[in-house]
């Protein structure tokens, strides 16, 4: 089965109960304030999320051109696949990334592309400008917009792969032979570059310099965002970076929001929508991505597993907020108290954080962004696609 086929069928395998969409669409202002009170299945169950995704896919006409077919069938990709196989048995992160891309049924798999397609459909053709009339449209989406969705995923995946590069001078004997890591790095760089080159070519084919500029600047933002992540995730450093939540938001915009926001805007530009529409699309993308990230950060603190000593990211939203409330000195003291013989007891630290205000304010922040995203959507006419976009927001802001 090809990679693409696998990606498309995965959500369906997980079961779609097909409850009527009408329940999800609630009119006007109720929606805006009711992000936290929407009834329905718990968003923590995978079935729910996948339901949202699969319904969305139906609306955009089962995207058949995700992960550009041309790209998938190329010699280079089979070359890459062969090389990645050689990494089986090593500890290079690329293997994890590759596995994640193929097997991961979690919602962050193709989210960006799907959102771009949905917003393209939700906006529809531009009423003002009729110059797009000779573009072909399938399921209410122009082929250039579909292309853009692919390009967005290509850029995201490229950086995902580049994130997995290993610093050779930090290797320990437990990481395995040096040459495996060197080889893994080599393949990771080439694969990432290959995906970026495909993205660039795709952008060139769109024949729209403004879109190229938008996506190129999104790439620049993403690189900076990934850079920040790298800098703050040093293994030995148990201490949260001394940043407040506003700096955190800026960095998170770079690493998670920019690509989606600018892609959504670019989709509007392709259909020749005016600046206001473009801005609304940007706002939706930005806020939705932020709430999605905060949701992801909250998972270790929301899940009910009691004896969970799994590590969590100390630069995630709840922890950064916790530190901000407490002040840095007290936070460092708490970390010290949670340390035993130099090793951090994550379970204990988790309880400490849960006892504070970090988690609840992170939930509030998540809902704040969710509401901003919904506000932005109001300027789009009601439609299936718009509902699907709203459902996505509801899904990432549910915490019960």
Partner 1 sequence: MASCRWPWRRCCSWRPAARSPRPGSPGRAGPPGPPSAADAGAQMSYFNLVKSLTSAFPNRYSMSRFHHTTSAACCCSKTRSGEKYTDPFKLGWRDLNGLYEDIRKELLISTAELKEMSEYYFDGKGKAFRPIIVVLMARACNIHHNNSRDVQASQRSIALIAEMIHTASLVHDDVIDDASSRRGKHTVNKIWGEKKAVLAGDLILSAASIALARIGNTAVISILTQVIEDLVRGEFLQLGSKENENERFAHYLEKTFKKTASLIANSCKAVSVLGCPDPVVHEIAYQYGKNVGIAFQLIDDVLDFTSCSDQMGKPTSADLKLGLATGPVLFACQQFPEMNAMIMRRFRLPGDVDRARQYVLQSDGVQQTTYLAQRYCHEAVREISKLRPSPERDALIQLSEIVLTRDK
Near partner 1 by CB under 8 A, which window of 106-114, 129-137, 215-223, 319-327? 215-223
Kindly tell me which of 108 and 224 has the beta carbon lying closer to partner 1: 224
Kindly tell me which of 156 and 386 has the beta carbon lying closer to partner 1: 156
243 binds partner 1 (CB under 8 A): no
Computed from CA positions of residues 391, 394, 395, 400, in that sequence, does the dihedral angle turn out positive or negative? negative
Kindly tell me which of 32 and 190 has the beta carbon lying closer to partner 1: 190
CB 332 within 8 A of CB 376: no
Neighbours of 36 (CB within 10 A): 16
DSSP type of residue 257: I
Phi-psi category of 40—alpha, beta or left, where left has phi over 0 and alpha has psi -120 to 50?
left
247 binds partner 1 (CB under 8 A): no
Q: Binding string to partner 1 for residues 79 to 98, with x set by CB under 8 A, is what?
A: x---x---------------
**Given candidates 192, 257, 285, 318, which one binds partner 1 under the rule CB under 8 A?**
192
User: What is the total residue count of the chain?
Assistant: 400
168 binds partner 1 (CB under 8 A): yes
Kindly tell me which of 99 and 250 has the beta carbon lying closer to partner 1: 250
70 binds partner 1 (CB under 8 A): no
* Interatomic CA distance for residues 157 and 159, integer angstroms: 5
190 binds partner 1 (CB under 8 A): yes
- Per-residue burial over 184-222, b = 16 or more CB atoms within 10 Å of its CB, e = otherwise: bbebbeebbebbbebbbebbeebebeebbebbeebbebb
* Interatomic CA distance for residues 380 and 31, integer angstroms: 14
CB 269 within 8 A of CB 278: yes
**Given candidates 38, 49, 194, 394, which one binds partner 1 under the rule CB under 8 A?**
194
Q: With CB under 8 A as the rule, give the number of residues binding partner 1.
A: 45
* Interatomic CA distance for residues 100 and 109, integer angstroms: 8
CB of 264 to partner 1, least distance (A): 18
Kindly tell me which of 208 and 378 has the beta carbon lying closer to partner 1: 208
Judge residue 241's burial from the number of C-beta atoms within 10 Å of its C-beta, 0-12 exposed, 13-18 middle, 19 or more buried. middle
Residues in region 195-214 near partner 1 by CB under 8 A: 196-198, 200-201, 203-205, 207-210, 212-213
CB of 58 to partner 1, least distance (A): 34
Neighbours of 308 (CB within 10 A): 13
The binding site for partner 1 (CB under 8 A) comprises: 76, 79, 83, 159, 162, 165-170, 182, 185-186, 188-190, 192-194, 196-198, 200-201, 203-205, 207-210, 212-213, 216-217, 219-220, 223-224, 226-228, 230-231
């Amino acid at each position: 089965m090809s990679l693409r086929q696998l990606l498309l069928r995965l959500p369906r395998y997980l079961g779609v109960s097909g409850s009527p969409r009408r329940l999800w669409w609630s009119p006007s202002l109720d929606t805006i304030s009711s992000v936290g009170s929407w009834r329905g299945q718990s968003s923590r169950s995978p079935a729910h999320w996948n339901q949202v995704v699969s319904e969305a896919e139906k609306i955009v006409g089962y995207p058949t051109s995700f992960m550009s077919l041309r790209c998938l069938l190329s010699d280079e990709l089979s070359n890459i696949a062969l090389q990645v196989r050689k990494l089986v048995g090593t500890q290079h992160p690329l293997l994890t990334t590759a596995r994640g891309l193929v097997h991961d049924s979690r919602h962050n798999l193709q989210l960006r592309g799907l959102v771009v397609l949905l917003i393209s459909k939700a906006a529809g053709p531009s009423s003002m400008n009729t110059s797009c009339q000779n573009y072909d449209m399938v399921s209410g989406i122009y082929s250039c917009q579909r292309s853009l969705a692919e390009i967005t995923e290509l850029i995201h995946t490229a950086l995902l792969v580049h994130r997995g590069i290993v610093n050779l001078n930090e290797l320990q004997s437990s990481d395995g032979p040096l040459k495996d890591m060197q080889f893994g790095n080599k393949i990771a760089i080439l694969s990432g570059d290959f995906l970026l080159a495909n993205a660039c070519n795709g952008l060139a084919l769109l024949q729209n310099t403004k879109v190229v500029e938008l996506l190129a600047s999104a790439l620049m933002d993403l690189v900076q965002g990934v850079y920040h992540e790298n800098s703050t995730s040093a293994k030995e450093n148990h201490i949260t970076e001394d940043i407040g939540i506003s700096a955190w938001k800026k960095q998170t915009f770079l690493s998670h929001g920019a690509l989606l926001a600018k892609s959504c805007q670019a989709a509007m530009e392709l259909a020749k929508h005016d600046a206001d529409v473009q801005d609304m699309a940007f706002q939706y993308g930005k806020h939705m991505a932020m709430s999605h990230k905060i949701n992801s950060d909250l998972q270790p603190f929301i899940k009910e597993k009691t004896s969970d000593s799994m590590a969590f990211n100390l630069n995630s939203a709840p922890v950064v907020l916790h530190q901000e409330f407490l002040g840095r000195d007290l936070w460092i003291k708490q970390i010290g108290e949670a340390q035993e013989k130099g090793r951090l007891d994550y379970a204990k630290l988790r309880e400490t954080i849960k006892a504070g205000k970090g988690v609840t304010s992170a939930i509030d922040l998540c809902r704040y962004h969710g509401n901003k995203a919904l506000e932005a959507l109001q300027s789009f006419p009601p439609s299936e696609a718009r509902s699907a976009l709203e459902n996505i927001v509801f899904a990432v802001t549910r915490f019960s």
